[in-house]
Structure formats: structure tokens, C-alpha cells
Amino acid sequence: MNHSTVITSLNRREFTLLLALGFLKTAYADSETNFLVSLYTQYAKKYGISNSGFSFSKKTFTFEGKTTVLNTDRFCLLNYDLPSDKERFQIINADSHIELSSLASHGINTGNHVSCLFSNKDESYQSSLGIYVTGIHYVGHFGPSLNLHGVSTSNDKSFSRRIVMHGAHYCSQTHIDSYGFLGRSLGCIALPKNNMITAYQSLKPGTIVIAKMDTRRKMTEALRPPTPDEKIENRIP
């Protein structure tokens, strides 16, 4: 299925989401270009590739001596250009159809309502931009979770920082209604609990996750301290 077919089959909500992601511009410019290849090329150039064992062309990824075959059946795009009360995380399949569109939390020190500050440093409690590859599935403090391995120079400390994809109760409309902004993580990609179950079931190890931001912002307000809900679930003293 080419991009022209995909575009004609979109409903209004999907069309709006893809327009916000900048996909339609790419699709019209070259309907034969694979969406994932196009995105990977763009953001590999922007954020660099620091892992010598990562090869998009060979569809392999090596981390700590273990080689994984990349999963190109689907991939994830996290668009930090959008504020946190918008569905800015998507799981997209090989036919460029959105299988899941979801809220997604950023780090407590990345911003309040919008994402501004990013870091690759331990205990920064900030999100990182760049290209990730999913690792093993596990069930931990937050329930079903996915390890994330950063392959860009901007996020290559993610695994040692324990930046993962997990579900969180604070990633919800309830938290927005109570506090005025979506609940924040300690730098992890946090999804609503139900959506995390979908991600856990559908994202195989070796799935590419692109966390991108095309227009950087400066902080124009003070960072809000952790809310009671953020403190409880993130285990903040």
C-alpha cells in the first residue's frame, strides 16, 4: 500500500494527527518513500547514532554483546512538539496506519504542560530526544514495561538511567483535570495504563522509537514541584 492509498483511507482524526506530525508533507512529496525510512534518516542525521552495533540497513541492533533483529512491522513516534495534553505518542504499522494514539508523559524537570528541557544525564529527571530501540519486556513497579536502549548521542545513557516505557496512573485526563497538566515521569516514556498494555503486547524487542522535537522552546515559567500523585507513583520522598 502506498502513501496515496493511505491518505485517501484516513478518517478526520487520523488525518489531523498525521498533519500535526508532518507526515502528509512527506507523503505528498514522495509517495513511494517508506515512512519509517524517511523518519529514521531525518532524525539519525539530527541526533546522530552512537551505537556501533546498530544498523538500520542490516536491520540489526547489538547491545552489551547481544544482537537483536530490528522489528520493522511497526514503530513508535513521540512528538514532543505537541503539549502533553495531546495524543503525541503513536504506534504506526508498516502500512503507515496508526494503531495506537496516546498521551505520553515527559520528565518532571522537562517542563510542566509543554516539553522544554532535555538531558542525557543521570538523575536529571528529564526526558531525552533521539532514537531508541526497545529491549526486553518485564513486569515491575509500574506493571508491564519495556526496556529502552538509546542509540543516539542524545540518549545513549538511557539504559543506565533506567529510562523505560511504562504505564502510569498519573498519565491520565484525571491528572490534567486535577492539576492542570499531565502527570510527569522521572524521564521515562509513561503512557496511560490501558495503552501501555497495548504497547506491551504489540511492540516486539527491536522496535524503533523516535522521540523528536523540531522546534525547541525556552522555559517561560517555573517548574512545578511534583504533585502528590507524581510523588506516590514515582516513589519521590
pLDDT digits (tens, 9 = 90+) for 136-146: 999 999 999 99
- C-alpha distances out from residue 65 to 10, 62, 108, 121, 198, Å: 42, 6, 33, 24, 29
Higher pLDDT, 9 or 77: 77
Percent of the chain with pLDDT over 70: 86
Is 117 among the domain residues? yes
Tell me the average pLDDT across 62-79: 95
Is 4 among the domain residues? no
Query: How is residue 99 written as a grid cell?
Result: 494503531
The pLDDT-based confidence of 35 (bands split at 50, 70, 90) is confident
Asked if residues 175 and 227 have their Cβ atoms less than 8 Å apart, the reply is yes
The SS3 call for residue 13 is helix
**pLDDT given at position 95:** 85
**pLDDT given at position 30:** 41
The pLDDT-based confidence of 14 (bands split at 50, 70, 90) is low
The SS3 call for residue 211 is strand
The pLDDT-based confidence of 34 (bands split at 50, 70, 90) is confident
Q: How large is the C-alpha radius of gyration of the chain?
A: 17
Tell me the average pLDDT across 205-226: 96
pTM over 0.75: yes
**pLDDT given at position 4:** 38
Asked if residues 208 and 36 have their Cβ atoms less than 8 Å apart, the reply is yes
Asked if residues 234 and 164 have their Cβ atoms less than 8 Å apart, the reply is no
Task: Find the CATH number of the domain harbouring 123.
Answer: 2.40.440.10
Is 15 among the domain residues? no
Domain count, the chain: 1
With a cut of 60, say whether residue 15 has pLDDT above it.
Answer: no
Is 190 among the domain residues? yes
With a cut of 90, say whether residue 201 has pLDDT above it.
Answer: yes
Tell me the average pLDDT across 20-43: 64
Is 122 among the domain residues? yes
The pLDDT-based confidence of 32 (bands split at 50, 70, 90) is very low
The pLDDT-based confidence of 21 (bands split at 50, 70, 90) is low
Q: For the sheet containing 54-55, what is the strand order?
A: 54-55, 60-63, 66-69
**pLDDT given at position 9:** 41
With a cut of 90, say whether residue 163 has pLDDT above it.
Answer: yes
Domain extent, residue 99, equals: 50-215+224-234
Is 208 among the domain residues? yes
Percent of the chain with pLDDT over 90: 84
Tell me the average pLDDT across 17-33: 46
With a cut of 70, say whether residue 68 has pLDDT above it.
Answer: yes
**pLDDT given at position 17:** 57
DSSP 143-160: EEEEEEEE-STTTTTHHH
Is 186 among the domain residues? yes
Is 146 among the domain residues? yes
Higher pLDDT, 12 or 100: 100
